[in-house]
A and B are shown apart, each in its own frame.
Chain A
Amino acid sequence: MIEAFRDSLDRIRILITPTQYFAWQTLLLLSIFSWLMAILAEVLDAATLTVNILSTCSWISLTAAIWWALWRNPVRVAGFSISAWITGAVLCLFLFNPWPPERLRWALAAWPLISTAIRALPSFFRWDLEFKRPKPEVQQELVLILLLNLLLTSWILFYFQVQSWFGRYPSLLVNDFDRSAFVYDFSSDFERIPQGVLLLESAADALEQQLNGIPWPRTERWLLNSEAQVADIAREIPRAALYAPEESLFWKLGAPPPIGAAGGYRLNFRAYWRGPVARENGYYLEKSCQLTPQRRTRPAPPSRPSPSGRSPAVPPVEYETTIVQCDTAVPEPQWIDASAVD
């Protein structure tokens, strides 16, 4: 074990020890040295500028070392040298250095183009760095490589375009993508929740705020006019209720007329998805709210004592208030059957 380890360590040492001063190993060692210095400067609390300059030097010499090394020992796939694409990847890592998600898009999209530039550059210069026009055959080959890489770039950008659709309309992810001629879904087995759930929750909240504790006759009057009232609730749901508010144009909130149930009424909120879907008629989500009257008593207001000195036994006032109870379960998408459409 230790023997094998020492053996491979020796091999690496031989590989990176420069045989002459003018070699790629020199650049690699320079890069490592510069990187160590950067770490040292970081530890010693040096100015940010110092650390940046040192790490930039390290990146640049690393890129140059890799380019040089791969130029000496090209990596070939099916007889075609892909060295430029490896160097391009390292250069992209350096150029787009902190890698937040927004930059990842451009870093990945630029990678084929930067690699093409690295691949093409030597054909445009003579050994003494004077500009030259490449030979016609080389020109045609370069055009072909450039076009292939532009195609790669467009595929990468297309991937990010699709991702931006999912960012803006996350409920698209509820569907299966088996029918698509463009994308393949590698994540078929985990659950995604459409945003309509949030819409239903804020509708249920609004209903509770409006009706909870209100005298029952007023609730009954509200229910008589439920269609308009639900439309009001739908209109007043703030756009901020959804974490991707652009999607709200694909949702339509409604409720069929309330049904009598359990001594009260049952109101079913439905959020219909009106956007792109995999199946014929789309789906809806349902959250039902139970409205029940609750009998309450209130002590009668104290009446004036009668002249006899005894107050009469006044029965307490009875009245009914409303209790709103909404389901807490997360609604599942209900796919609308083609035959059941009115």
Chain B
Amino acid sequence: MGELEPIFPLKAIVFQGLFLLVAIALEAGLLRQRLYLGFKDSVQYATVINLAATVVGWFAFLLLEPLAPPALEAQIISYVLFDRLTFNSWTTRVGAIVLISGLTAFFVTLLIKLKGLELMMRTAGTWTIPNQPERLSRIQRYARARSGNTDQQQAMGRFSNAVLQANALSFSALLLLLLLRTFAREWS
């Protein structure tokens, strides 16, 4: 590494802060509604799971970027430094890569948020869903046969559903913000 240039990722930090605030606000509201949490708890949980997802994303980028082949690296540099994705004949492949990494990001984020929220609620003692019992009593087995699933499964389903909706909501909001930014740039 040569001498350091006075070029700092300040815009990235500002955008990151803005996106985190939007995502946390939306998700906290939704989790509070769906999981019957308090104000403070919901904001705290949303902050922690979103920060965790962000950090995992950053580390994935920092680890994988040096492994990218030169052509892909040129695209990444072009996007980061000049906000442009397409040059030469790379358009379709870039589209595919963006799509795949976006989908991967969504599902990895969902997984982190599910596990993270469960862990947070368990340590705080607000986790109310009972563990799946090892052996079911006769009556419970009948109940399961009648209704199709147990209370535990229903509660877990509600929980996962809430987190999925929260994640989808924040991703859509951020995508909307990114699109707005692009349009604003085109029009100005």
| Contact between chains at B12 and A151 (CB < 8 Å) | no
A161:B181 contact, CB within 8 angstroms: no
A162 to B185 alpha-carbon distance, docked (Å): 23
- Stretch with Cβ within 8 A of B (4 or more), from A33-41, A71-79, A88-96, A163-171: A163-171
Q: Is the CB of B7 within 8 A of A186?
A: yes
Tell me the chain A residues, 70-121 only, with Cβ under 8 Å from chain B.
Answer: 101-102, 105
Q: In the complex, how many angstroms separate the beta carbon of A190 from the nearest chain B beta carbon?
A: 10
A256-293, CB < 8 A from B? 274-278
Nearest B residue to A279, CB-CB? B82
Q: Is the interface of B mostly helix, strand, loop or mixed?
A: helix
Cβ distance B27 to chain A, nearest Cβ, rounded Å? 15
Stretch at the interface among B48-56, B95-103, B144-152, B154-162: B48-56
Query: Which residue on chain A has the smallest CB distance to residue B47?
Result: A144
Measured in the bound complex, the distance between the Cα atoms of B7 and A137 in whole Å is 39
* B48, B62, B74: the one within 8 Å of A140 (CB): B48
Shortest Cβ distance from A115 into chain B, in angstroms?
A: 16
B4 near A180 with CB under 8 A, answer no
Count contacts between A and B, CB distance < 8 Å. 140
Please report the C-alpha to C-alpha distance between residue A179 and residue B181 in the assembled complex, in whole angstroms. Answer: 12
Closest to B10 in A: A184
Q: Which residues of A contact B58 (CB under 8 A)?
A: 151, 154-155, 157-158
Q: A154-B59, A161-B62 are in contact. Are A136 and B51 (CB under 8 A)?
A: no
Contact between chains at A186 and B74 (CB < 8 Å): no
Within 61-97 of B, Cβ neighbours of A (below 8 Å) are at 61-62, 65, 70, 74-75, 77-78, 80-84, 87-88
Known: A102-B1, A162-B7, A164-B1. A180 touches B81 (CB 8 A): yes
B51 to chain A, nearest CB (A): 4
* Pairwise interchain contact A187-B55, C-beta atoms closer than 8 A: no
The yes or no answer to B9 lying at the interface (CB within 8 A) is yes
In the complex, per-residue mask of A212-232: 1 if CB is within 8 Å of any chain B CB, else 0: 000000000000000000000
Residues of B within 8 A of A (CB): 1-13, 15-16, 44, 47-48, 51-52, 54-55, 58-59, 61-62, 65, 70, 74-75, 77-78, 80-84, 87-88, 120, 123-125, 181, 185
User: Which residues in A have some Cβ–Cβ distance to B below 8 Å?
Assistant: 101-102, 105, 136, 139-140, 143-144, 147-148, 150-151, 154-155, 157-167, 169-170, 172-173, 175, 177, 179-187, 249-250, 274-278
Supply 27 A–B pairs (Cβ within 8 Å), ascending by A.
A101-B1, A144-B47, A147-B51, A147-B55, A151-B55, A151-B58, A154-B55, A155-B12, A155-B13, A157-B62, A158-B12, A158-B58, A158-B62, A159-B9, A160-B1, A163-B5, A163-B7, A166-B2, A173-B5, A180-B80, A180-B81, A181-B15, A184-B8, A185-B6, A186-B6, A276-B87, A277-B82
